[in-house]
Structure formats: structure tokens, C-alpha cells
Amino acid sequence: MKVKDLMTTQVEHITPTTTTKEAAHIMHDQHLGVLPVIEDNKLVGMITDRDICCKVVATGHSAGFTKVEEVMSKNVATCFDDQNIGDATKLMIDHHVRRLAVIDHNNAVVGLLSVDDLARNSHDMASSVLEASTQAH
Amino acid sequence: MKVQDIMSRNVQTIKPTSSLRAAARTFSDLNVGALPVVDDGKLVGIITDRDVSVYAIAIGREPQSTDVKVVMSKEVFTCNADQSLAEAAEIMEQHNIRRLAVVNGSDEVVGILTVDDIARVSHELAGGVLEAAIAIH
């Protein structure tokens, strides 16, 4: 089984200079927890609902005046769409993450792979990712 | 195996009248994604990192001047500490969620049980919960 067989292909994305307020609106309207951040067709980061919680709301900054690039993660864990699901699972475990941005060999973002997607294929793989998680609850 | 064998104990709670910013700071400081909301010793809601960021911003609320009770979920799904893990996993699956507040007979919070906790002891049960969960990519 390959990553492209399980990934979500409808991927909304956002630019680094968009405000986190706009990012929150997109996440709410599209029911998303993460947005790949793209500049000049290249993946430059990822922003999550938790980034907006911990780096904007918690610090007292205004979401309307805080740009995505100020709070996004720049070290993004990625995998290729033609990689095996087992490799992708290992990447999630090693990086303690529950989602990977999926890229093709031209470095274009073509999907997202989450631990929920893994669960549809293998309860064992998905649970191994949860076990490696570092969040308390 | 029972809920009490693997749940998180000594769970930090928050008041319905606390500000969203205070909640966000707690999420960040404690590295958690959800807090039970407790009033007069009783569980009245649950609030997540997503509620204080994406949801609050989407409905146009200022984190500093908005109370937890405005964005929390009032419908909280619970289990008891002496229930079996299979029963708890079943409750999560039925309601498409990943966490339960653990309460005693007086509606006092005695713990939190997450799908991550379940994954440490049963990949099969945790995988089933993830498959049923409402996917937020």
C-alpha cells in the first residue's frame, strides 16, 4: 500500500503572509486542523489550530495582526506520494507527529496523510503513531 | 483492563469564567489539548485548544475578554473509572471522539482517558476509535 492510496488529496493551503485570523477562518469553514504554507509553489511550513492557540491566543497577540509565517512550523515532516505506508508510519513515529505533508518528486504538495488515514488501513500502524505521541492529554 | 488502570489522574481543570487566553496558556504550559471545565466541583463542559483558537476567532471573539463558557462544549461524554476499556472505547466510537472525562458518582472529574492512552494497551481498540473519529486533517 502506498501513501497516495490513503492520503487526503483535497488540500487547502495558505501563504506565509496571510493573517492567522484568516487561517482560523479557513480551518473553521473547511473543518481542518492544519494548513500547508506555500510560497512560489514550494512548501515552506505548516500551521495548525494548536499553533494559533499556543503562539497567538496564549501570548496575547492579535490574530488579525499576526502572520502565518510568525507562528508556523518551518521544519515540516514530509513523505512522497509513492512511498510505502510503512515508511510513512515510521516517519510519524520518529518525528512524534500525527500528520505528514505529502509531496511529489517535483516538491509540490499533493496531499496530507494523517494517523486517522492510517487507521483505515491498519489499527496497528495507527496505534504505534499514537504511542509515540508526546502530548499529555 | 479498566479505565482507572491507564487514565491520566490529577487532571488540571478550568473555570467557566476563566478567559480564553488563560485557557490557551494552560494548554501551552501543560502540553495538553483539552481541559475539563468545572464549576462548584462539578463537570459542566470541556474545552479544547481548537475551541480557544479556531472556533473563538471564527465567531469573532476576543480571547482576552471572552469566557471559557462561551466556546466550551456543554455536552461532555464521560465514563467511570471502573468501566472496562472496551466500554470506554465504544463510547468514543459512538460519539466520534478521542477523549472522555472520567467522573465519579458525584460528577466530579477524577481523570481523562484519551485514545493515546488506549493505544498503549490495545492497538485494536485504539484503531477502532480513530477510524470512527471525525477526521480533522
The answer to whether A20 and A68 are in contact (CB under 8 A) is: yes
Q: Does the global pTM surpass 0.95?
A: no
Determine the residue of chain B that is closest to A9 in CA distance. Answer: B137
Residue range B75-80: mean pLDDT, rounded: 96
Residue range A107-122: mean pLDDT, rounded: 93
ipTM of the complex: 0.90
Instruction: Identify the pLDDT of residue B136.
Output: 65
- What does the alpha-carbon distance between residue A14 and residue B54 come to, in Å, rounded to a whole number? 15
Residues of B at the A interface (Cβ-Cβ below 8 Å)?
Answer: 8, 11, 20-21, 24-25, 27-28, 30-34, 49-50, 52-58, 63-64, 99, 112, 114-117, 119-120, 122-124, 126-128, 130-131, 133, 135-137
Tell me, yes or no, if A40 comes closer than 8 A to chain B by beta carbon: no
Q: B50 vs A127: CB contact, 8 Å cut-off?
A: no
What is the per-residue pLDDT across B22-57, written as a single tens digit (0 to 9) for each?
Answer: 999 999 999 999 999 999 999 999 999 999 999 999
User: Phi and psi dihedrals of A48, rounded to 5?
Assistant: -120, 165
Residue B68 pLDDT > 70, yes or no? yes
From the list A31, A52, A127, the residue facing B136 with the nearest CB is: A31
What is the per-residue pLDDT across A37-73, written as a single tens digit (0 to 9) for each?
Answer: 999 989 999 999 999 999 999 999 999 999 999 999 9
Tell me, yes or no, if A97 comes closer than 8 A to chain B by beta carbon: no
- The shortest C-alpha distance from A15 to chain B (Å) reads 18
Give the burial string for A64-96 (b: 16+ CB within 10 Å, else e). eebebbbbbeeebbbbbbebebeebbbbbbeee
Assign A134 a pLDDT band (cuts: 50, 70, 90): confident
- The shortest C-alpha distance from A33 to chain B (Å) reads 5
Residue B82 pLDDT > 70, yes or no? yes
From the list B8, B57, B122, the residue facing A63 with the nearest CB is: B57
Give strand pairing partners of B67.
B19
Helix (H, G, I), strand (E, B) or coil at B15: coil
Tell me, yes or no, if A32 comes closer than 8 A to chain B by beta carbon: yes
The residue among A46, A49, A72, A99 with the most chain B CBs within 10 A of its CB, best to mutate, is: A49
- What does the alpha-carbon distance between residue B137 and residue B133 come to, in Å, rounded to a whole number? 11
The residue among B14, B51, B54 with the most chain A CBs within 10 A of its CB, best to mutate, is: B54
